[in-house]
Structure 1
């Protein structure tokens, strides 16, 4: 029986992505590109999954038609993606055979070869020995396509944003004094799936002093009355595109200081959103949030960049950070998430995903931004 297609987009979309990648490889002066499992492979041909000890790789170049090298035991799954629908060349192999020789055959003579950043040393080292070339990152080729979202990708990110907003609106059902962070997180994770995601990528519930750790996840800490709680959540919708949104809650009544400081944070987040437009740089958007916080005496409490790109990966380019002079273009999608953190006390963060439009940006998360009392 033929494998059933699992593609979220028409095969023609993937054909265009491959054509664009080959053009970018030519512009970058690369003779060939090797892409292992991960977000780049998912983006280019719809093949999902992680790297294992058996090599799977897409090989292409400016003058080389795409070929995928795949273990025969994975062949049916791969043929159910754009690989099969586009009729791409396939070189399958079984244990005992040399998959690196198949990569060499697909590349032919090559001087400069780029590899995807998700390809591990487990495969990079033997490939380099087999090909007798010095590899370089294929980032200039692979990031360019993924940074600029087309209308279908934006629609999927919008779908993801609506789904995660629905979860945030339900957080007051579960967040209350006397429950543990882990108990609240379990309810949130269940809702992430029930509200339209296929998987839960992460759940952060940082109560009280745990909120001062930007990458705290969950613990068995009991949430207390009057505490500030950071809830940062995200998942992948069926197409594989991700949501990521943070809101800050208070159990009961906040202190005057917490209320005032989180109000400044909301203004800082809005200032950064307002700064997003084609032609602005990533560092200018970051500075817009940072300036508001600094003027309120909270600059030292902001410990990280303002945002990160999002798509088939939760974190990807562009990065909205100090020193990044990347010029924003229509179709770029990224988070705006300034935060303030007070070690041993509490923290707060507000995060939306935005997409750059012709004259500004579209905000994909619209759940209330102010400190929400539960």
Structure 2
């Protein structure tokens, strides 16, 4: 294996569980150990480094022309509980690999190159993409209860405010990542050129029926909320498959009341999540779910929208450049959306043009100890990232 794969394997040894998975939660001792590993690589390459007040790692490689905006690369250093080697860390280590190649080839960029290793991209009590939202100014540390949440990590609202950066000085943000799905692996395609990050829409759906004795209430007389909810889930699943082949629908959380073996459920609350690039598709899907609910007997439904994170398009010029780089390198590739959220989201929402490069996840596995990307794909994606940086350095995208 080459240098980048070796860095990934070394980082993968930090937070290793007995089953081979990795747990490297934000602000943990293992998190900061991994941060120090990457920081040492940065400093060995002559990069200026800092660890900001919320635990983000920031590296800077000055360019020849300080009047030009920075080209920014990054991803996250934390993992989910029992996660894998590649999610997040590939983007940070891949960015460092770009600097290694610049040094080896005696290339000094015109633009300053900045690398971010973000803290707590994964879900936590502080919210997902915590580190990147902090530097982009998207976090409101004064919202009720947030100071208490920060205090559990020995952080304060002032730390969040201090972490904010002037991202108007960023020309663009590139994130190198594993796909976390099976499109590339199934199609035997080497690289995904991401054209956007799909929306995440969630509804709290409540089904109401009538509780009664499970032994004495005959089937024709039942108003079972769980049966009603089950029918709606099956109908929604079938409709999602019909409506669009890139629409995904998930019910990952459900509660049943009163929750007794011998009592017919009178209330079931479930989370319906849908993801797609096009708002019109998720709007239509939700309308279809509501229509299906009206056709289910002996049960009533209410819907409450709890999350509405709409899709984030990648910058068309960056998509075109990455696509061109893949073609010039004769690498098989496809333009595709990302079905998962990333640190690129906050960057884009605050006005920084974003681009993303995907490489295959074997069998589509991610957030799991068996997460794997073949070494040759790791190196191919790094080559695309490196060549994209070189192209951007000489491209006027205004």
TM bucket, shorter chain: under 0.3
Select the structure with the greater relative contact order (CA < 8 A; seq sep ≥ 6).
Answer: 2
Q: Normalising by structure 2, what TM-score?
A: 0.25
Q: Normalising by structure 1, what TM-score?
A: 0.27
